Structure 1
């Protein structure tokens, strides 16, 4: 994953590099260096962020259904 895709996924997940690193218990300096000076973004980050985004969407749908009384 390239630097621009990483930034785009962070934005979709409502993270910045600092909040992402805190959420995962990673050092900010490590996350901040991804995509810079030849350092690639780790292979697992793209799938993790996509799953996080999808999970958030599912939670929103579940809450909407719960509020309508359809799903209790």
Structure 2
């Protein structure tokens, strides 16, 4: 993944590089120092962002349906 693709995916998810660093436990300086040739974006980052996106979407879906699932029937 190129750095511009990484930044685009972060933007699509509404995350900053600082947010990503905090979520992953990486130093912000490490994330900022990723460059396409000398220090490429690590290979695991793409799948991490994909899983983060899916988990966030599923958490939102659960929050929408949870009140209806936990409601007792009125019979």
Bin of the TM-score, shorter chain as denominator length? 0.7 to 0.9
User: Which structure would you say has the larger Rg?
Assistant: 2
Q: How many pairs were matched up? A: 70
Cα RMSD after superposing both structures: 1.6
Mapping of 1:13-24 within 5 angstroms?
A: 13-24=13-24
Contact 1:9-1:49 at 8 Å conserved across structures: yes
Contact 1:34-1:40 at 8 Å conserved across structures: yes
Residues 13-70 of structure 1: CA deviation (Å, up to 9, x unaligned) = 3321112112222111110011356321000001001100100000111111124x1x
- Gap runs ≥5 in structure 1: none
| Moved >4 Å (runs of 4+) | none
- Gap runs ≥5 in structure 2: 71-75
TM-score (norm. length: structure 2)? 0.79
